[in-house]
Amino acid sequence: MNNDMAKVQKLHNQSDEFAGYLVFCPGCECYHLFDSRWTFNGDFEKPTFDGSMLVNKDDPTSRCHSFLTNGEWQFLQDCFHHLAGQTVDLVDLDLS
């Protein structure tokens, strides 16, 4: 059993190739994946990814647009969810 908590999970695909970094979005209440298009600072407690995460950009009813910097989610005003315009701490992943 692994009790280590982390805020970022490194994922590999079925070919064991790097797939991306998984983080939990408290606005969408689901996971978002930062793949190789982003640069990760390597800090699993206070992660920073360069560039914004934009999910469902063509659908305002499910759009999520954010930056993840130094372990904090910054949600932009065009998010559909209740955290639009807010900055919140990244939470630990619970992948059990």
Interacting residues toward Zn ion by CB under 5 A: 25, 27-28, 64
Kindly tell me which of 17 and 29 has the beta carbon lying closer to Zn ion: 29
Q: How far is the CB of 1 from Zn ion (least distance, A)?
A: 29
Contact 7, 93 (CB under 8 A): yes
- In angstroms, what is the minimal distance from the CB of 39 to Zn ion? 20
Please give the structure tokens belonging to residue 50.
């360069």
Nearer to Zn ion, 10 or 82 (CB): 82
Sign of CA dihedral 18, 92, 74, 70: negative
Closest CA to 47 of 19, 8, 11, 86: 8
Least distance to Zn ion, CB of residue 57, Å: 12
Nearer to Zn ion, 64 or 90 (CB): 64
Element (H, E) at 74: strand 72-75
